[in-house]
Every structure is written in structure tokens, then in C-alpha cells.
Amino acid sequence: MANAQTEQREKKTVWQWLCWAGDRYFIKAMSSMALGLFASLIIGLILSQLAQVSFLAWLQPYADMVASSSPVVGSAIGVAVASGLKAKPLAVFTSAVTGAIGYDLGGPVGAFLAAVVGAELGNLVAGRTPVDIVLVPIVTIVCGGLTGTFVGPPISALMTGLGTLINNATTLAPVPMGIAVSTIMGLCLTAPISSAAIAISLGLEGLAAGAAAGGAGFGLFLLLWAEVLSCISLIRIFLYTTASQLVAVVCVFFCDGLDDLRVACALVILPP
């Protein structure tokens, strides 16, 4: 009887530890990773598109600084992950280095793993010695750097190979693979996992990228429906959608032929 109660208590402890680890690393850390990715790479993509307008070309250098090949993206991911884990300040600041190392060797996933390991181990030694200002950065950089060095390249190769397989399979069987890719990306959008990080790590392109964008758009529609549209009748949604399309046609007709400056002014003046 005592052994049974002990085993039950141990199972409960293990389950609680698994729940804690899942909440800490799968929800909090990955949610923070998505914020870091949005604050760097996604904003960089937006700036690069704005820089295509002639009078906004001065934004291009800023967009290049946070391009997909820049280690700045990894630094943003590292700081965001360490901050989400509530690490000590020195561990958070040093995670900019470990995130850059992991991103350079393994992409967003490599940056995530390097930042998690570096921040956690750096946080363990923080506040325990009088030389924290030296010891914490060293432990964080060395542990996170080793994780990025040994884990990053295999992860990068795995994600690249998986992305190539998905792209080729989508080209050969567009309908079933398109449905599968769009469904998975839609589910990822509602989860703490960063769908943008997955798409970038896999290197999706062509039909697969279109299916991923479609799945993300449908996921956004579901979230919007759950938050806003569920309280509106279907007839009103139909009328609003039709009216917005008619207004858009009229606006496109009057804005056709305008230069970039006048188009930008028209977009600012028009209601959202």
C-alpha cells in the first residue's frame, strides 16, 4: 500500500514537472520568440516593402539591418526568449550574443535553443558569486554558444531538407499537399509556435508558400471570427464585405495613374 502511494506521488510529481516545462518552454518561451521575430524580421520585411516607394527609399538600409540573413534577428530572438523566461538582467542582455550565434548556425530554431540553454544556465549562477558581472555573461555565452554550435547545424540541415521535401511534394501533388500545409500553418498560428519562424526555417516557396499564407490567413479569420465577427449576423457580414469591395473598386479607379506621393496621401486620407 505504501509503495503504491509512493509511486502515485512520484507519477504526480513527474507530471507536474512536465506541465511546468511545457508551460515554460513551449508556451512562454515560444511566445516570446514570436515577439522577437516580429520585432526584427517581420518589421524588416514591412520596411523593405515600404522602401519600394520612391520617397521612402531611405528606409532600405534599416530593412537590410534586420533582413533574414542578419544576426540581429537572432539577437532579438535571444533577448525576447530570455526576457520571457524571466532571466536575470545580465543573462537577458548576454542572450543577444547566444541568439545571434544560434541564428547564424541554425536559423530561428537554433537561436531559440541557444537562447534557452544560455539564459537558463546563466540564470542559475546569477546572484551566487561576487563576480556575477563577469561569470554570468561567460556562462551564458559559452553554454548557449556550444548549444548553437552542436545543435544548430543539424537542425538547419533537417529544416532545409524538410522544406525541400514539402516544396517538391506540393509541386507534384498541389491539392492534397496544399490542404495539408495550409491546415498545419493555420493550426500553428493559433498555437504559441511562431508560424513565421517555421516558414522561414523550412524555406517554403512557390505553391507551398502560397498554401502556408492561405492557412495563416484562414487562421487569422478564425481568430477574428471568435473575437469580433461571431456577434455579427451573416447578412451584415455579407453586406459589409460587398460594400467594402465596391468602395475599393471606386478608390482604385480614382487612384489609378497617380504617382507614389499622391497614392500615399490617398491611403492616409481614406478611412481604414
pLDDT in tens, 114-158: 999 999 998 888 888 888 888 989 999 999 999 988 888 888 788
Percent of the chain scored above 70 by pLDDT? Answer: 64
Task: Spell out where the chain has E strands.
Answer: none
What are the C-alpha distances in Å from 200 to residues 108, 156, 248, 265?
Answer: 8, 11, 32, 33
* Dihedral angle over CA of 84, 86, 90, 93, nearest 10: 10
Q: How far apart are CA 254 and CA 269, in angstroms?
A: 13
- Provide the mean pLDDT of the chain: 77
- Show Cβ contacts of residue 6 under 8 Å, excluding neighbours closer than 6 positions: none
Q: How far apart are CA 165 and CA 159, in angstroms?
A: 10
- Show Cβ contacts of residue 176 under 8 Å, excluding neighbours closer than 6 positions: none
Q: How far apart are CA 31 and CA 69, in angstroms?
A: 22
pLDDT tens-place string over residues 164-222: 887 777 777 777 777 777 777 766 666 666 666 676 667 777 777 677 666 666 666 66
Contact 122/143 with Cβ under 8 angstroms?
yes
Global pTM? Answer: 0.70
Contact 119/145 with Cβ under 8 angstroms?
no
